[in-house]
């Protein structure tokens, strides 16, 4: 199948519009009409409002009735490509399957579906087990295992890579394979075109390894992707890791995220030095989806070193980047990051991208222009689309760090936000990216004497973003887009997008 090469929207069904898939679809045909070629519909399964905002499904094959049903998803898929999350690593502790395990223990039909500590670390020597566990890569500060009392007579430590409510499944078991197949079937019957493999890097565990992106994990992703393709769907692998790992994954799957781009764009605009960004864009995967913001925080690990492997940025530059975000957001991001709130991510800064840039409209549109001219299919998060501020009220209410960038925006609020100059400018950039034939061609990047140029060429058509960083006043940076479509040529300065 072919995915439209145009801008996609990332959104929750309950946080954009009036709380349903149908309402969201109405927005896409109303205030947001003619903007998006696809929509990444964040978890809409039952329940969409669990402990991890839908990433802890009780029933992954069921649409939460409060949001709608599969018919509403299918309807939306008639006009845009639909991306849905396949949460491959775990399911809710409240699921019918795990509740049966708690009741019947090893006599449960579903016992083989879930991973226990003993399943992986079956050595009898506790010291050896402890040494093996110490090698495992941790994405979150929560414990590896959570103890559950089963059948009233035994306490068993189950794998909980993310939270104690998210029980890891054995994707290599027959039950695990059948479980994932049942989700794929629900997807393919409902016009889902793209599957985002959530937390796939942690799905395979082996004693004596770091249990992250093993050779067996690559094989698992390839096999799952093959199954999806046979059902006319493609897979997007969601992995936060060293940039070389992303390149390796991209060579073996349909698509990956370019998670290095968000911090590199910030670093470029903060320092007016585009050398690291230009280097990355010269080697980055072409079969990727680009983002600046998502439902998670701004990733840092993706540009850092890994052991003896150097990163795209030095540690000093990364620390300066994080501190600048905190400064630009007037300390709001600091209140939502690290130990300041109930955070589940070790390597992310929680902040809207708009606030990370100090709410500077020109900087924000320039960042989006860089994203849209970078290789890959661009995705824009719903909060970023409307240049939403940090939601400090929601953060105070939930004490969940990532909620600073997960606002509830009603249809009325959307209709008001689209009148802001920065939002109107972003809409123009989206339309430009969607309509120029040059973006279906070949990409090249150059950076010489403070002039960064991102170029696209396709059968005589061209699109070029030029940014001159020679000035010391960032607001005076000369940034322009040059377009040639057939016989028609045009030039648009980024500053002109603000009216």
Known binding residue 198? Answer is yes
Task: Measure the CA–CA gap between 260 and 282, rounded to whole angstroms.
Answer: 13
> Is 296 a known ligand-binding residue?
yes
Residue 345 marked in a binding site: yes
Backbone phi and psi for residue 458, each to the nearest 5 degrees, phi listed first: -155, 105
Dump the DSSP string for 283-335. Answer: HS-SSEEE-S--SS-EE-GGGS-BTTB--SS-HHHHHHHHHHHHHHTTTHHHH
197 is in an annotated binding site: yes
Q: Is 52 annotated as a binding residue?
A: yes
| Percent helix / strand / coil, the chain, rounded to 5 | 40, 20, 40
Q: Of these residues, 14, 81, 170, 238, which one is catalytic? A: 238
Q: Which has the closest alpha carbon to 135: 211, 43, 189?
A: 211
E strand intervals along 314-441: 348-349, 377-381
- Say whether 346 counts as a known binding-site residue: yes
Q: Assign residue 29 a region: left if phi > 0, alpha if psi is -120 to 50, beta otherwise?
A: alpha
Closest CA to 423 of 27, 210, 431, 448: 431
Residue 28, annotated as binding a ligand: no
Q: Answer yes or no: is 69 a known binding residue.
A: no
Q: Per the annotation, does 459 bind a ligand?
A: no
**385 is an annotated ligand-binding site residue:** no
Q: Considering only CA atoms, which of 439, 442, 444 is closest in space to residue 377?
A: 439
Maximum CA pair distance of the chain?
78
> Is 14 labelled as part of a ligand binding site?
no
Q: Which of 198, 293, 302, 461 is labelled catalytic?
A: 198
Pairing of strands 348-349, 298-299: antiparallel
C-alpha torsion sign, points 169, 187, 406, 46? negative
> For residues 253 and 429, what is the distance between their CA atoms, to the nearest angstrom?
29
Interacting residues of 117 by C-beta distance below 8 A, sequence separation 6+? 129, 144, 145, 156, 157, 158, 159
Whether residue 279 is annotated as binding a ligand: the answer is no
Would you call 198 a catalytic residue per the annotation? Answer: yes
Of 347, 355, 417, 358, nearest in space to 382 by CA:
417
Cis-peptide, bond into residue 368, ω within 30° of zero: no
Task: Name every residue whose Cβ is closer than 8 Å to that of residue 189 and which is 6 or more positions away in sequence.
Answer: 70, 74
Radius of gyration of the chain (CA): 23
Is residue 402 marked as binding?
yes
293 is catalytic: no
Provide DSSP, 101-126: HHHHGGGSTTGGGB-BHHHH---S-H
Q: What is the distance of C-alpha 433 from the center of its chain?
A: 20
- The 3-state DSSP class for residue 274 equals coil
Q: Using alpha carbons only, give the angle 332, 85, 115 rounded to the nearest 5 degrees.
A: 100
Active site amino acids? 198, 238
Binding-site residue numbers are: 52, 90, 196-198, 238, 295-296, 345-348, 402
Binding-site residue numbers for substrate are: 52, 90, 196-198, 238, 295-296, 345-348, 402
């Amino acid at each position: 199948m072919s995915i439209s090469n145009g801008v996609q929207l990332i959104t929750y069904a309950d946080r954009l519009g009036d709380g349903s898939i149908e309402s969201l679809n109405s927005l896409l045909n109303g205030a947001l009409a003619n903007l998006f070629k696809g929509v990444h519909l964040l978890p809409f399964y039952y329940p969409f409002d669990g402990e991890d905002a839908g990433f802890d499904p009780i029933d992954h094959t069921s649409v939460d009735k409060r949001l709608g049903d599969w018919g509403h998803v299918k309807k939306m898929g008639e006009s845009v490509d639909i991306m849905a999350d396949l949460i491959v690593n775990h399911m809710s502790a409240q699921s019918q399957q795990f509740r049966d395990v708690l009741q019947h223990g090893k006599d449960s039909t579903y016992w083989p579906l879930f991973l226990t500590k003993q399943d992986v670390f079956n050595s009898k020597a506790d010291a050896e087990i402890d040494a093996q566990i110490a090698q495992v890569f941790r994405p979150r500060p929560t414990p590896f295992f959570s103890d559950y009392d089963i059948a009233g007579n035994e306490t068993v430590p189950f794998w909980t890579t993310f939270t104690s409510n998210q029980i890891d499944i054995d994707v290599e078991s027959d039950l695990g394979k059948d479980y994932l197949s049942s989700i794929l079937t629900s997807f393919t019957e409902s016009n889902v075109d793209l599957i985002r493999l959530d937390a796939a890097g942690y799905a395979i565990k082996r004693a004596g390894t770091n249990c992250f992106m093993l050779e067996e994990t690559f094989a698992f992703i390839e096999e799952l992707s093959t199954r999806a393709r046979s059902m006319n769907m493609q897979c997007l692998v969601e992995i936060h890791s060293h940039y070389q790992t992303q390149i390796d994954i991209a060579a073996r799957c349909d698509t990956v995220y370019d998670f290095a781009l968000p911090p590199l764009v910030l670093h470029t605009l903060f320092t007016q030095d585009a050398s690291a960004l230009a280097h990355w864009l010269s080697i980055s995967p072409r079969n990727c989806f680009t983002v600046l913001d998502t439902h998670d925080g701004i990733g840092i690990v993706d540009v850092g070193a890994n052991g003896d492997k150097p990163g795209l940025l030095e540690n000093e530059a990364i620390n300066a980047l994080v501190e600048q975000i905190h400064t630009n957001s007037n300390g709001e991001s600091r209140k939502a990051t690290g130990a300041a709130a109930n955070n589940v991510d070790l390597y992310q800064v929680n902040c809207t991208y708009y606030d990370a840039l100090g709410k500077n409209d020109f900087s924000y549109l320039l960042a989006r222009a860089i994203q849209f001219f970078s290789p890959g299919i661009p995705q824009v998060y719903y909060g970023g689309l409307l240049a939403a501020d940090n939601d400090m009220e929601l953060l105070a209410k939930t004490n969940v760090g990532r909620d600073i960038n997960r606002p509830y925006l009603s249809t009325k609020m959307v209709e008001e936000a689209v009148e802001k100059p920065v939002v109107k400018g972003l809409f123009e950039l989206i339309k430009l990216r969607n309509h120029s034939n040059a973006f279906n061609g070949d990409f090249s990047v150059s950076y010489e004497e403070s002039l960064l140029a991102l170029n696209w060429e396709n059968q005589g058509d061209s699109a070029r973003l030029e940014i001159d960083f020679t000035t010391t006043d960032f607001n005076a940076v000369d940034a322009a887009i040059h377009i040639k479509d057939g016989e028609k040529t045009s030039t648009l300065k980024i500053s002109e997008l603000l009216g």
